[in-house]
């Protein structure tokens, strides 16, 4: 197997860097860390795992920092992660086969974004392009940077690499999330001003404004993104449509959200969208249709957010039955939720 370097950029990551490196240790990768100005123990802690630590003067450009890290790697094959990514598993034999059979393609790793919602720990699964050969690829984009071919004429193709990681960066305090989102918004708006309209930038702005609960601004940017010519097969477009629907619900524009029925056949390819339609019907008082959508969601294997095809869908079915006076049916639905705390509380009340 050809050797692999793991590259990451860091600034004040003492809370995460040790666990990140510890999870990498069993695989024997070269670890390259580029510090962009830490004032905590990041460098000290990282030095226990690697001597490949470099400094980069921060210039508000994530791609510049990541490409610098790639330039310091000893090997061409690079896995690029964040300090708050903890590798769960890598099938090294399968990865070696991917490298051999698709040397000019990039690999998307499964990143499980951990977050806390209503006191419950949840995960959102996202496939992110993070593994490639630097002879053919580099990073572009000031913020929410992406791996792209160095040669624009080279066909873009990415496969699912057998790498799983937990990303804990979205599981910080509310203040930490607000600060991170505000920083990203400033950088994204600069990109928009410089480069012009771009659906991916609109999407990222919409997501950032959602994180700080500015739903009017989130709607504005998500609506702009979806008004452009976008490819519905792209993961971010699927998520953008779902975020658009949730934003309409947050704005209490329940009837407007029903317009997503017009794209149902295109985006009802994973449980997340079907679950969203259940919520939209529920908020419009169309309870029979809502139950149908939630039930359909429980039959689907493809999903991003934990629970949309299981306990969350069954919980909402239980809520509808309970609110419409069908207590026994509600209990049955709640029992299907397993250890989901809100369902257990309802069962306790109804028993």
Q: Are residues 317 and 349 in the same domain?
A: yes
Q: Are residues 36 and 128 in the same domain?
A: yes
Rounded distance between C-alpha atoms, residue 110 and residue 126, angstroms = 6
Which CATH number does the domain housing residue 131 bear? Answer: 3.90.550.10
Segment 74-78 mean pLDDT = 98
Q: Are residues 187 and 218 in the same domain?
A: yes
Residue 69 has pLDDT above 80, yes or no: yes
Task: Please tell me whether the overall predicted TM-score, pTM, comes out greater than 0.85 for this model.
Answer: yes
Q: Are residues 248 and 266 in the same domain?
A: no
Percent of the chain whose pLDDT exceeds 90:
92
Q: Are residues 284 and 143 in the same domain?
A: no
| Structural domain containing residue 114 | 4-167
Domain count, the chain: 3
Segment 251-263 mean pLDDT = 98
Contacts of 50 (CB under 8 A, 6+ apart): 21, 30, 31, 32, 33
Percent of the chain whose pLDDT exceeds 70:
100
Element (H, E) at 281: helix 271-283
Say how many residues make up the chain: 351
pLDDT tens digits for 268-302? 999 999 999 999 999 999 999 999 999 999 999 99
Backbone angles phi, psi at 209, to 5 degrees: -70, -30
Residue 172 has pLDDT above 90, yes or no: no
Q: Of 167, 194, 215, which residue constitutes the final position of a domain?
A: 167
pLDDT of residue 1: 87
Which CATH number does the domain housing residue 243 bear? Answer: 1.25.40
Long-range contacts of 48-54 (CB under 8 A, 24+ apart): 48/18, 48/21, 49/18, 49/21, 49/22, 49/24, 49/25, 50/21
């Amino acid at each position: 197997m050809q050797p692999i370097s793991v590259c990451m950029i860091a600034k004040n990551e003492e809370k995460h860097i040790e666990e990140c490196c510890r999870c990498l240790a069993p695989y024997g990768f070269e670890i390259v860390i580029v510090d962009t100005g830490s004032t905590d123990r990041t460098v000290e802690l990282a030095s226990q795992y690697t001597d490949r630590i470099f400094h980069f003067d921060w210039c508000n450009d994530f791609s510049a920092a990541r490409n610098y890290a790639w330039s310091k790697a000893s090997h061409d094959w690079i896995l690029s992660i964040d300090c708050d990514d903890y590798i769960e598993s890598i099938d090294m034999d399968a990865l070696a086969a991917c490298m051999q059979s698709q040397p000019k393609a990039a690999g998307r790793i499964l990143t499980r974004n951990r977050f806390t919602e209503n006191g419950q720990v949840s995960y959102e699964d996202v496939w992110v392009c993070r593994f490639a050969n630097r002879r053919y690829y580099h990073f572009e984009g000031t913020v929410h940077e992406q791996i792209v071919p160095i040669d624009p004429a080279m066909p873009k193709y990415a496969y699912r690499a057998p790498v799983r990681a937990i990303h804990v960066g979205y599981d910080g305090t509310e203040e930490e999330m607000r600060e991170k989102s505000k920083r990203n918004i400033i950088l994204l708006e600069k990109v928009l001003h410089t480069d012009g309209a771009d659906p991916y930038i609109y999407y990222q702005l919409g997501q950032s404004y959602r994180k700080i609960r500015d739903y009017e601004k989130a709607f504005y940017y998500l609506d702009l993104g979806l008004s452009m010519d976008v490819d519905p097969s792209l993961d971010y477009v699927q998520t953008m449509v779902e975020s658009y629907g949730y934003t309409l619900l947050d704005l209490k524009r329940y009837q407007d959200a029903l317009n997503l029925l017009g794209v149902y056949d295109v985006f009802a390819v994973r449980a997340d969208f079907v679950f969203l339609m259940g919520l939209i019907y529920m908020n419009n008082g169309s309870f029979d249709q809502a139950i149908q959508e939630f039930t359909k969601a429980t039959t689907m294997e493809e999903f991003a957010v934990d629970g949309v095809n299981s306990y969350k869908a069954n919980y909402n079915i239980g809520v509808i039955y309970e609110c419409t006076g069908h207590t026994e049916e509600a209990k049955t639905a709640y029992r299907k939720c397993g250890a989901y705390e809100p369902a257990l509380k309802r069962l306790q009340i109804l028993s």
